Structure 1
Amino acid sequence: MEKYETLEILRNSPNSGVFHLILNRPSRRNALSLEFFTEFPKALHSLDQNPDTAVIVLSGSGGHFCSGIDLKALSTISDDNTSDRGRAGERLRRKILWMQDAITAIERCRKPVIAAISGACIGGGVDIVTACDIRFCTKDAFFSVKEVDLAITADLGTLQRLPGIVGFGNAMELALTGRPFSGSEAKELGLVSRVFGTKEELNEAASVIAEGIAGKSPLAVTGTKAVLLKGRDMTLDQGLDYVSTWNSSMLLSNDLNEAVSAQIQKRKPVFAKL
């Protein structure tokens, strides 16, 4: 398995379909370096293409999930000695699009991504978790859409994804104030679906739920993620039409026959890898 400077990939059991993707700069509270934006989409693509991977659990090493973009990376991005404002602006736009694409890689990944959040989840950390499919946290986790305090308009996906998760008014308030909010408030807002007492309990629950999803039909799981994401940008009628087309090509599979047989025989189904 490929080695990364900013990430670690673990598989707790050789028979498990659950892979753990870990932000691995604990000395920097997992702040996002420029290297991260190269490695992260590469790691996700590798896991997506690996037939052994059914579900990905995303977490941070040490006490924090992610403290946001590394300030050294931020200064590097903003440095441009050219006197041509148009060319400097065009280069900056390309850098931002490149960074956005690294976060959107979570949605491009066919396999579900579960965020297991403890400690700080700030700025770029919120960009990452809003792109994830399921979010859990510890009760001592804390969040902040921090960019406004750094004189930045958040540009890696939070302003686009957060309103659909917590509601437009809540997203506006969190983004304009930059205020920290707790794991329990994140649950009230709907940013996370479950809160756990300790990081150990969080990791255990995330693994159990991931293993449960990994035991389901991979065609049904990847289809559910794809159709839900596509449906965000569609009317109800368009979404229904899209899923009818999707299922017309995917529904009549060996997975369907196996699921029905397993139900009748009262046994656990066994599905082929994807």
Structure 2
Amino acid sequence: MEKFKTLEIVRASPGSAVFHLRLNRPSSRNALSLDSFAELPLALSSLDRNPDALVLVLSGAGHHFCSGIDLAALDSSPPPGDRGRAGERLRRHIKYLQDAVTAIERCRKPVIAAVHGACVGGGVDVATACDVRYCTEDAFFSVKEVDLAITADLGTLQRLPSIVGYGNAMELALTGRRVSGSEAKELGLVSRVFGSKRELDDGVRVIAEAIASKSPMAVTGTKAVLLKSRDMSIDQGLDYVATWNSAMLLSDDLTEAISAHTQKRKPVFAKL
């Protein structure tokens, strides 16, 4: 297993197709450092290529999921030289940070966010890039950037509206207020709230293992089509999924799923 400064990859159990990707800077409440942004795409790419990994669970070590971006990564002092060139360098830096978060979506395998404690600022960027989100009762969320006199720029403003609705996203982004775990569930930001961190870990494990038991072709295809269809009209989305299935549908997974159903047994699918 690869070693990282700010992340940790752990297999759920021997033989399991579920892998845990943990933000691992507990002393700083898992604030996202420049190293974090460099390592996140590398870790996700490694897990994407790993045929043993079918489902990823993204969580935070210690008492919090993620307290946002490390202020050292937000150096706002203007570099010397031409103002236009300084602006172009800053734009490239922002795009680099954005790309690290978007790597979560680029990963073919579904990524489940298991949130406990604080999920603030950049933590919301990360969580909203995940495919499914769960949290504990004591978790809290805040689109905090407005309080730091900046506009959230790593994906929250683009992804949150399709998750909680435009009006709710606007209100959360303009106020920066704290949202409890139960309110996050009401808004649709998370799919389920668990009573404790242990219950969260156990519940997410069951869900992740259930997803991992399904056809890898169907699971990765579902993620890809949903993400693509988000930016398409219904007609375009239907055309896209027809094209996708015309290439992927006739896999051995389909034959195995039908045989298992007929024989009343659990299907056994090949690795991705």
TM range (shorter): over 0.9
Q: Which ranges in structure 2 are unaligned for 5 or more consecutive residues?
A: none
State the 1:84 CA deviation. 1.1
State the 1:83 CA deviation. 3.2
The one-letter code of the counterpart of 1:50 is N
Which secondary structure does the structure 1 equivalent of 2:67 belong to? coil
Which secondary structure does the structure 2 equivalent of 1:247 belong to? helix
Partner residue in 2 for 1:4: 4
Select the residue among 239, 243, 247 that pairs with 1:249: 247
Partner residue in 2 for 1:31: 31
State the 1:152 CA deviation. 0.4
Superposition map of 1:182-221 within 5 A: 182-221=180-219
State the 1:106 CA deviation. 0.6
The one-letter code of the counterpart of 2:247 is S
Alignment of 1:166 with 2:187, yes or no, is no
Write the distance in 1 (CA, Å) between the matches of 2:9 and 2:81. 43
Select the residue among 154, 178, 181 that pairs with 2:179: 181
Alignment of 1:22 with 2:14, yes or no, is no
Alignment of 1:223 with 2:228, yes or no, is no
Partner residue in 2 for 1:103: 101
Write the distance in 1 (CA, Å) between the matches of 2:243 and 2:221. 11
Select the residue among 92, 95, 109 that pairs with 1:94: 92
Write the distance in 2 (CA, Å) between the matches of 1:129 and 1:181. 14
State the 1:72 CA deviation. 1.8
TM-score by length of 2: 0.99
Partner residue in 1 for 2:41: 41
Q: Does 243-252 or 5-14 show the bigger shift? A: 5-14
Write the distance in 2 (CA, Å) between the matches of 1:27 and 1:256. 47
* Identical amino acids, percent of aligned pairs: 76
Partner residue in 2 for 1:115: 113
Alignment of 1:64 with 2:57, yes or no, is no
Write the distance in 2 (CA, Å) between the matches of 1:5 and 1:80. 28
Which secondary structure does the structure 1 equivalent of 2:184 belong to? helix
Superposition map of 1:67-86 within 5 A: 67-75=67-75, 78-86=76-84
Write the distance in 2 (CA, Å) between the matches of 1:58 and 1:20. 6
TM-score by length of 1: 0.98
Cα distance per residue 1:233-258 (max 9 Å; x no partner): 10000000000000001001100000
Which secondary structure does the structure 1 equivalent of 2:35 belong to? helix
Partner residue in 2 for 1:235: 233
State the 1:74 CA deviation. 1.3
Select the residue among 252, 269, 272 that pairs with 1:271: 269
Write the distance in 2 (CA, Å) between the matches of 1:109 and 1:21. 13
Write the distance in 2 (CA, Å) between the matches of 1:50 and 1:129. 22
Write the distance in 2 (CA, Å) between the matches of 1:143 and 1:61. 17
> CA-atom RMSD, angstroms?
0.6
State the 1:185 CA deviation. 0.4
